[in-house]
Amino acid sequence: MGAAAQIRLRRSRASLVVAEMNPTEVAQFLKTRVRTVRDWPKPKVNFRDVTTLFNDPQAFRVMVDAFVDEARRLKCDRIAAVDARGFILGGAVAYQAAKPFALVRKKGKLPYKTVSADYELEYGSATIEIHADACAPGERVLIVDDLIATGGTLLAAAKLFRQQGGIVAGVAAVIDLPELGGSAKLRAADLAVHTLCEFSETE
């Protein structure tokens, strides 16, 4: 067997991991691998650290394959991702789905003409931007991030793509923190929300 065939076989076997899991099993699989850092970056905040998932090749594959399946189900033309951890996932999803990839960046990080939107964070506020040509009118966009807390970042990102004439087919994140209300706000804004697991504030 040649090297290329061996790579395809390894990828096929890895992809079977998520194909053989139901959503409850995916959630349990990922939750046990997320590191929670208490009182960071400020007291009474439980930070859900997804870098432990990036450090686990099988967990990384599960996340990417799940989002690729969602992108295909929604018939997306483009994958977008939010600065910065979203880039790790979004780039991999765009590669696997063979779709163009758009960056949603913090203010001042993109070199070309941009459009911007302000948003509220769980613990502060900020501005995000996309290039003015980040999507074409009518393109169906899936926006990827690592986590949904208050939902402000993804709401602002969706607003930017809609302003450019894009159709935000959905937003996808590894973790939902439903008690913070972000996923409810996204759904109220007529956005399809796809998350792989959720945490309560007492977990």
Tens digits of per-residue pLDDT, 168-188? 999 999 999 999 999 999 999
Question: What is the CATH class of 3-198?
Answer: alpha beta
Beta-carbon count within 10 A of 147 CB: 24
- Predicted pLDDT of residue 16: 52
Residue 91 burial class via C-beta count within 10 angstroms: exposed 0-12, middle 13-18, buried 19 and up = middle
Q: Domain residue spans in the chain? A: 3-198
Distance CA 156, CA 118 (A): 7
The answer to whether residue 4 scores a pLDDT higher than 60 is no
Is pTM beyond 0.85 here?
A: yes
